[in-house]
Homo-oligomer: A and B are copies of this chain.
Amino acid sequence: MSTDLTVASVEAIPFAIPYVKPLAFASGSVSVAEHVLVRVTTTDGLVGIAEAPPRPFTYGETQASIMAVVDSLFAPAAVGTSALHREAIHARLRRTVGNPTAKAALDMALWDIVGQAFDVPVTELLGGFGDRMRVSHMLGFADPAAMVDEAARMREVYGISTFKVKVGRDPYRLDVAVCRALREAFGEEVELYVDGNRGWSASDSARALREMADLDLLYAEELCPADDVLGRRWLAGQSTIPLVADESATTPGEVTRELLGAPRTPSASRPRAPASPTPSGSCSSARAWASTSSWATRSTARSAPPAPWPSGRRTPRRAGARAS
């Protein structure tokens, strides 16, 4: 190893790409991808890049906050250290609370450098678990017919057959109707799971799950507020499908807090849901999803195929990339 991998600079570069179609969900809506490119340069001139897509309604970051934390705290924490020493750099980043997307982008840019230095894909350095993964498309709020149309188009154009359906509206039956329309339109040919972005109450969540009990949903994500601790536990105790935590459990410590004392159901932070494209999924092309990086903290927990299937699923379909 003769290359000097010392980090010489870390830059945060803002950019904006308008969505072809805005995405609406329970906690907000997005019409422009105002993201940040994190670019790391080493002493010997290798350049690693990664994208940090702020998700104010999920992780609290904005384009400006990501640029500020990278410029003022994370760049000084990395400059002068080898790109290989990411655990040492992580330890410094962890002193700063939150900012998961900014941290993840810097981490990915460091990996990008290491992969180039060793001339191997990073997936090899991560242990080469598999070369295929399911890809899901996220369906934002609309009426049932429009959401079915969008799903049909994604199936036809990109071969995607797993859909994350945004729910959490009031009244909840709007969303139940969408899920039912999707299942009726596509039968067993699609996989469906729902994401409430904490929009429902615990009691409405329970009602909705009961009314969708025959729709063979894979998972239910962040249906009700995590701060309603007892409401969530009550819901977990009666749910017949696994509950997924995202913004309420972004670190191992938060996962522990969420789980300890909870009913011993398959709840919170399921590790094997399909990799989810970001809310910018509808903006450009299927390939663009692979580069949207704010979901790194999630995809590390979720992307590995072949996934074990929770009991209750009808057919353990073969995991595989659906997008061309």
Please judge, given known A-B contacts A260-B260, A260-B264, whether A124 and B84 are in contact too, CB under 8 Å. Answer: yes
Per the bound structure, the CA–CA distance linking A87 and B128 in Å amounts to 6
Q: How large is the interface on A (under 10, 10 to 19, 20 to 34, 35 or more residues)?
A: 20 to 34
Per the bound structure, the CA–CA distance linking A86 and B123 in Å amounts to 11
Contacts of A86 in B (CB 8 A): 127-128
Interface flag for A64 (CB, 8 Å): no
- Closest Cβ neighbor of A119 among chain B residues: B1
- Contact: A125 with B88, CB < 8 Å? no
Q: Per a CB cutoff under 8 Å, which of B1, B129, B260 touches A85?
A: B129
- Contact: A85 with B128, CB < 8 Å? yes
- Residues 104-130 of A, flagged 1 when their CB comes within 8 A of B and 0 if not, give 000000000000001110001111111
Interface flag for A82 (CB, 8 Å): yes
Chain B proximity of A318: nearest CB distance (Å): 16
Chain B proximity of A6: nearest CB distance (Å): 12
Interface flag for A180 (CB, 8 Å): no
Number of this chain's copies in the complex:
2
- Closest Cβ neighbor of A121 among chain B residues: B1
Contacts of A118 in B (CB 8 A): 1, 118
Contacts of A124 in B (CB 8 A): 1, 82, 84-85
- Residues 81-98 of A, flagged 1 when their CB comes within 8 A of B and 0 if not, give 010111110110000000
Contacts of A1 in B (CB 8 A): 118-120, 124
Contacts of A84 in B (CB 8 A): 120, 124-125, 127-128
- Contact: A127 with B260, CB < 8 Å? no
Chain B proximity of A113: nearest CB distance (Å): 13
- Contact: A87 with B125, CB < 8 Å? no
- Contact: A88 with B120, CB < 8 Å? no
Residue of A1, A126, A127 contacting most chain B CB atoms (<10 Å): A127
Per the bound structure, the CA–CA distance linking A223 and B181 in Å amounts to 59
- Closest Cβ neighbor of A84 among chain B residues: B124
Residue of A1, A84, A259, A260 contacting most chain B CB atoms (<10 Å): A84
Contacts of A264 in B (CB 8 A): 260
> Given contacts A87-B128, A88-B130, A90-B127, could you give 5 more A-B pairs where the C-beta distance is less than 8 Å?
A82-B128, A84-B125, A85-B124, A87-B126, A88-B129
A-B contact pairs, 29 of them (CB 8 A): A1-B118, A1-B119, A1-B124, A82-B124, A82-B128, A84-B120, A84-B124, A84-B125, A84-B128, A85-B124, A85-B127, A85-B128, A85-B129, A86-B127, A87-B126, A87-B127, A87-B128, A87-B129, A87-B304, A88-B127, A88-B128, A88-B129, A88-B130, A90-B127, A91-B129, A118-B118, A125-B125, A259-B260, A260-B260
Q: Which 10 A-B pairs have the closest CB atoms?
A: A87-B127, A85-B128, A87-B129, A1-B120, A84-B124, A1-B119, A86-B127, A118-B118, A84-B128, A88-B129
